[in-house]
Amino acid sequence: MELWLYILLFVVFLLLRVPVAFAMIASSMLYFYSHGLSAGYALSSMVNGINSFPLLAVPLFIFVGSIANNLGIATRLYDLARALLPRLPGNLAYVNLGTAIGFSWISGSALADAASTSKVQIPQMLKAGYPYGFSAGLTASGSLMSTVMPPSIPAVLFAATASISTGALFAGSIIPAMLMAVGLASYIFFWVRRHPDVAGSRPFDGGMLGRAALRVIGPALLPVIILGGIFSGWFTPTESAGIASVYMLALGLVYRTLNWRVFWKSAKETVVISGGILLILGASNLMGQVLAREQVTRHLGEWLTGITDNPIVFLLLLNVLLILLGIPLEAAPVILVLVPILMPIIGQYDIEPVQLGVIMILNLMIGSLTPPVGAVLFVVGSITRRPMGELFRGILPFLIPLGIVLLLLTLFPVIVTALPTMLGLM
Residues 187-224 have pLDDT tens digits of 999 998 888 777 555 666 677 778 888 888 888 888 88
Tell me what the mean pLDDT of segment 334-344 comes to.
85
Is 184 or 206 the better-scoring residue by pLDDT? Answer: 184
Are 288 and 187 found together in one domain?
A: yes
Are 28 and 80 found together in one domain?
A: no
397 band by pLDDT with thresholds 50, 70 and 90: very high
> Is position 46 within any domain?
no
Q: Report long-range pairs for 11-18 (Cβ below 8 Å, ≥24 apart).
A: 14/328
Residue 386 has pLDDT above 70, yes or no: yes
The pLDDT of residue 158: 93
By CB neighbour count within 10 A (0-12 exposed, 13-18 middle, 19+ buried), where does 77 fall? buried
Q: How far apart are the first and last CA of the chain?
A: 42
Residue 284 has pLDDT above 70, yes or no: yes
The verdict on pTM exceeding 0.75 is yes
1 band by pLDDT with thresholds 50, 70 and 90: low
> Is position 73 within any domain?
yes
Are 13 and 58 found together in one domain?
A: no
Structural domain of residue 335, as residue ranges? Answer: 53-422
The pLDDT of residue 400: 94
> Is position 43 within any domain?
no
| Pick from 106-115, 148-157, 406-415: least confident | 106-115
Are 25 and 156 found together in one domain?
A: no
Residue type, 312: I
Q: Report long-range pairs for 388-395 (Cβ below 8 Å, ≥24 apart).
A: 390/132, 390/133, 390/136, 391/132, 391/133, 391/136, 391/137, 391/140, 393/133, 394/131, 394/132, 394/133, 394/134, 394/135, 394/136, 394/137, 395/133, 395/136, 395/137, 395/140, 395/141, 395/369, 395/371
Residue 304 has pLDDT above 80, yes or no: no
Are 416 and 382 found together in one domain?
A: yes
- Residue 302 to residue 313: CA distance in whole angstroms: 15
Helix axis angle, 375-384 to 353-368, nearest 10°: 40
> Is position 219 within any domain?
yes
Are 74 and 193 found together in one domain?
A: yes
CB 366 within 8 A of CB 326: yes
According to DSSP H, which parts of 233-310 are helical?
A: 237-255, 260-293, 296-307
- pLDDT digit string, tens, across residues 227-260: 888 887 788 888 888 898 899 899 888 888 888 9
> Is position 42 within any domain?
no
Are 119 and 4 found together in one domain?
A: no
Are 99 and 209 found together in one domain?
A: yes
Domains: count for the chain = 2
The pLDDT of residue 203: 63
Q: What rounded mean pLDDT belongs to the chain?
A: 84
Are 77 and 118 found together in one domain?
A: yes
Tell me what the mean pLDDT of segment 5-23 comes to.
81
